[in-house]
């Protein structure tokens, strides 16, 4: 009896030990991992690894103490760059040299172009979103896409097709929408102008790029799932670049948690919808006229994933940048009504007065080219509010910048277009003023050096869609300003607040009140 009881006790003991082994092992493993992590942290604090820096700039960045004085990171960077004699600062914790020096911009984009590619670190940040698209590759892949896109965008058929799409969107959607908003009984109906222009630009680029019409400019409809996913992917991809250590977002991506899980879901939706668009275009085959960019690219590319990457890159360039610039333009115009009056005077001289039914003229491309003041006002807007506030390259080899700043191999070097537009050393003591006349000589537009004004980049990588984008923006400005006064409500161009993203977006939107103008007669 006693022996049996002893055997049972022994068996129970072994069973209990066996059942606890996984838990004990897990606790031991967790303790060991924590101990190792603590040791690495302590060692890192003693050794001060490359990503650690206690300088005032890095401390302000890591602690976000700059937010006590500045609403936006770009404004803080502009402040730092203005203070530096060489207009160049080093944010060590980001491994990033920032510059607002035109000589340095020219050095990067022209003089030492081969030494400043996009680079592998940049490509890694945007690879999930942009893939092998033109904005995320270097070398032969970039050159192939650039030559192909440049040839297509220069084709008279594409330019005529794009102009007809923009005119249709203005005449049939944007202008009627603004008429509706201005004719409310209370006169107090507000529009989010940023939302309106994002929808307008999205419709235009989808029709130009895909030959398909999402119909987003119907405000009664929600933004398409594609557009929402695109916004999310853009915002979260940009957030990766702000992390002091890229290993942090890479770890979250590996574990599929937090922002990275949301980013993966958004990109998955972009992929699915882009693939469906490509399938639909392939099904149409010879039935399509082939005027849209996607149809024309299909003549040279059979890889659907590659097509997806190219199309998404064109979407980013053709939708977000146009919407950003147009929103900023009317924000500035609300603060400077005399500029709107000057635009109307020029439009009347070039295109004639409004008709009796107050329908604005949708200016033809030739007429738009003769509107030098409109051109100047648009460029002045983008000087102060560039759609892409900064652009980064990664040094392929060691270098010394024109101001004497040494650059180690692998360093991220960023020219800051937003800060450059606010430099007295570049634009004079009135650099903070919205003054279109600075671009005119004898009433004609005079361009600036792209290295003083790198809104469209410069050198070999100058934006190939520049002319198309300017045509679209000028056409929208002329059509809207002729018939409407647009007054911002609760916002000013003096102290904007930006949301994170790959392009400049105003946080919280731009609410406006639209009023239809009375006939000149």
The pairs formed by 33-37 with CB atoms below 8 angstroms and a separation of 24 or more are none
Environment class of 26 (CB within 10 Å of its CB; exposed 0-12, middle 13-18, buried 19+): exposed
Q: Which phi and psi angles does 369 have, rounded to 5°?
A: -65, -25
CA distance 86 to 100: 9
Residue 83 and residue 421 in contact, taking contact as beta carbons nearer than 8 Å: no
State CA 36 to chain mean position distance.
Answer: 40
The percent of the chain in helix, strand and coil, each rounded to the nearest 5, is 60, 10, 30
Residue list for the binding site for heme: 463
Q: Which phi and psi angles does 364 have, rounded to 5°?
A: -75, 160
CA distance 171 to 343: 19
CA distance 330 to 434: 12
Return the H-helix or E-strand segment holding 204: helix 193-209
Residue 312 and residue 231 in contact, taking contact as beta carbons nearer than 8 Å: no
CB atoms within 10 A of CB 393: 22
Sign, Cα dihedral of 54, 414, 420, 511:
negative
HEC states along 390-406? CEEEECCCCEECCCCCE
Residue list for the binding site: 463
The pairs formed by 253-262 with CB atoms below 8 angstroms and a separation of 24 or more are 253/128, 260/236, 262/232, 262/236
Q: How does DSSP classify residue 318? A: I
State CA 75 to chain mean position distance.
Answer: 17
| DSSP of 330-378 | HHHHHH-HHHHHHHHHHHHHHH-PPPTT-PPP---HHHHHT-HHHHHHH
Assigned token pair, 258: 């937090």
Residue 415 and residue 89 in contact, taking contact as beta carbons nearer than 8 Å: no
CA distance 78 to 301: 42
Which residues touch 53 (CB under 8 Å, ≥6 apart)? 59, 92, 93
Assigned token pair, 117: 């590619």
Assigned token pair, 13: 């003991």
Which residues touch 399 (CB under 8 Å, ≥6 apart)? 112, 115, 406, 407
Q: What is the rounded (10 degree) CA torsion for 57, 61, 64, 67?
A: 60
């Amino acid at each position: 009896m006693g022996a049996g009881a002893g055997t049972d006790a022994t068996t129970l003991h072994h069973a209990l030990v066996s059942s606890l082994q996984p838990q004990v092992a897990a606790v031991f493993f967790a303790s060991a991992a924590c101990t190792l992590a603590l040791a690495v942290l302590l060692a890192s604090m003693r050794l001060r690894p490359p990503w650690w820096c206690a300088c005032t700039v890095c401390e302000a960045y890591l602690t976000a103490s700059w937010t006590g004085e500045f609403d936006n990171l770009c404004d803080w960077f502009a402040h730092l760059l203005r203070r530096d004699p060489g207009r160049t600062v080093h944010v060590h914790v980001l491994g990033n040299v920032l510059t607002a020096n035109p000589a340095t911009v020219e050095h990067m984009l022209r003089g030492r172009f081969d030494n400043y590619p996009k680079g592998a670190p940049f490509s890694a940040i945007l690879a999930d979103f942009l893939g092998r698209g033109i904005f995320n590759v270097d070398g032969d892949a970039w050159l192939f896409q650039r030559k192909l896109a440049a040839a297509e965008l220069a084709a008279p058929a594409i330019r005529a097709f794009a102009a007809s799409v923009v005119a249709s969107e203005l005449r049939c959607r944007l202008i009627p929408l603004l008429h509706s908003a201005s004719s409310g009984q209370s006169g107090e109906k507000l529009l989010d102008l940023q939302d309106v222009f994002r929808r307008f630009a999205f419709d235009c680029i989808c029709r130009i790029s895909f030959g398909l019409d999402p119909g987003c400019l119907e405000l009664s409809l929600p933004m398409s799932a594609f557009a929402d996913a695109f916004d999310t992917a853009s915002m979260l991809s940009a957030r990766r670049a702000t992390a002091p250590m890229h290993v942090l977002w890479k770890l979250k991506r590996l574990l599929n948690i937090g922002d990275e899980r949301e980013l993966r879901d958004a990109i998955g939706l972009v992929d699915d919808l882009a693939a469906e668009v490509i399938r639909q275009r392939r099904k149409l085959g010879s039935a399509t006229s082939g005027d849209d960019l996607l149809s024309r690219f299909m003549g040279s590319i059979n890889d659907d994933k590659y097509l997806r990457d190219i199309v998404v890159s064109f979407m980013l360039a053709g939708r977000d940048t146009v919407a950003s610039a147009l929103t900023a333009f009317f924000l500035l115009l609300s603060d400077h009504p005399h500029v709107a009056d000057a635009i109307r005077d020029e439009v009347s001289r070039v295109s004639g007065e409004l008709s009796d039914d107050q329908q604005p003229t949708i200016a033809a491309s030739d007429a738009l080219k003769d509107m030098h003041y409109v051109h100047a006002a648009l460029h002045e807007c983008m000087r102060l509010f560039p759609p892409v506030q900064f652009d980064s390259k990664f040094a392929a080899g060691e270098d010394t910048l024109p101001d004497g700043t040494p650059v180690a191999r692998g360093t991220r070097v960023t020219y800051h277009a937003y800060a450059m537009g606010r430099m007295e050393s570049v634009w004079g003591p009135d650099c903070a003023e919205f003054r279109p006349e600075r671009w005119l000589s004898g009433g004609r537009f005079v361009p600036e050096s792209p290295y003083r004004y790198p809104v469209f980049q410069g050198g070999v990588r100058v934006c190939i869609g520049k002319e198309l984008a300017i045509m679209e923006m000028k056409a929208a400005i002329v059509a809207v300003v002729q018939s409407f006064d647009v007054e911002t409500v609760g916002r000013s161009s003096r102290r904007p607040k930006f949301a994170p993203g790959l392009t400049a977006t105003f946080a919280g939107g731009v609410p406006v009140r639209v009023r239809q103008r009375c006939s000149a007669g």
